Chains A and B, each alone.
Chain A
Amino acid sequence: AQTVTQSQPEMSVQEAETVTLSCTYDTSESNYYLFWYKQPPSRQMILVIRQEAYKQQNATENRFSVNFQKAAKSFSLKISDSQLGDTAMYFCAFMEYGNKLVFGAGTILRVKS
């Protein structure tokens, strides 16, 4: 079965600084998708960034970027210039083609002023 591991239960960062959230996954497939979702205290799960495994280039969305290491099965999220609104639970998720979305346990990120 596919598994997603987020080894950091909680992280803190000062406003305007950079933070990296870790994620590793286990699969024997070569084609799949990886996602980072953000869940603020309001509970709305919001897509932050998406990566397709066949793409060599790391995905970027404004202040959010990923470091995708396919051989190491690692998919970390970097948040630059952290803002108070980035405070949330962040979930790493994995999906093989034609299969279901599997989530990690999440990392609570607190941005401090």
Chain B
Amino acid sequence: EAGVAQSPRYKIIEKRQSVAFWCNPISGHATLYWYQQILGQGPKLLIQFQNNGVVDDSQLPKDRFSAERLKGVDSTLKIQPAKLEDSAVYLCASSQAPRADTQYFGPGTRLTVL
């Protein structure tokens, strides 16, 4: 069974530029999560999708971050414009059921904002 796929693995941008990350969950997993992991900290949930609908985006900085999951499969997370404090690893995870099941993580995208 293929795992959660993410791309790119690394991205370096200047502040105020925009960037997008892509995630493809495990086949059949209806729930998809985006996490932000700042160096030295545990992951923090940014947004959760159930199929193509948003379940929780309470910790997503909506003035600069956006995410979509068209057709209920893969998802894109965008930052526009980026700030220095957005430097982090962005992890995507998926699960079969919303929040009552184990989450499986992708390899992450390391973003550096200069």
Interface residues of A (CB under 8 A from B): 4, 35, 37, 42-47, 50, 91, 93, 95, 97-101, 103-106
Contact = CB atoms under 8 A, between A and B. Distances in A.
A42 B107 contact: yes
Contact of A105 (B41, B91, B100, B108): B41
A97 B100 CA distance: 6
Interface stretch (B15-23, B42-50, B66-74): B42-50
Given A100-B48, A100-B56, A45 B102 contact: no
A100 B102 CA distance: 11
Contacts of B108: 43-45
Nearest to A106: B42
Given A35-B102, A43-B108, A47-B102, A105 B40 contact: yes
Given A43-B89, A45-B91, A95-B99, A101 B45 contact: yes
Interface string B24-64: 00000000010000001111110010000000100000000
A43 B107 contact: yes
B103 interface: yes
A37 to B, nearest CB: 8
13 contacts: A4-B42, A43-B107, A43-B108, A44-B105, A45-B43, A46-B105, A47-B104, A95-B99, A97-B99, A98-B98, A101-B103, A103-B44, A106-B41
Contacts of B107: 42-44
Given A45-B43, A95-B99, 15 more contacts: A4-B42, A43-B89, A44-B105, A45-B91, A45-B105, A50-B102, A91-B42, A97-B100, A98-B98, A98-B100, A99-B99, A100-B56, A100-B99, A103-B44, A106-B40
B110 interface: yes
A100 B48 CA distance: 9
A106 B44 CA distance: 13
A94 to B, nearest CB: 11
* Interface hub of A42, A45, A100, A105 (most chain B Cβ within 10 A): A45
A103 B36 CA distance: 12
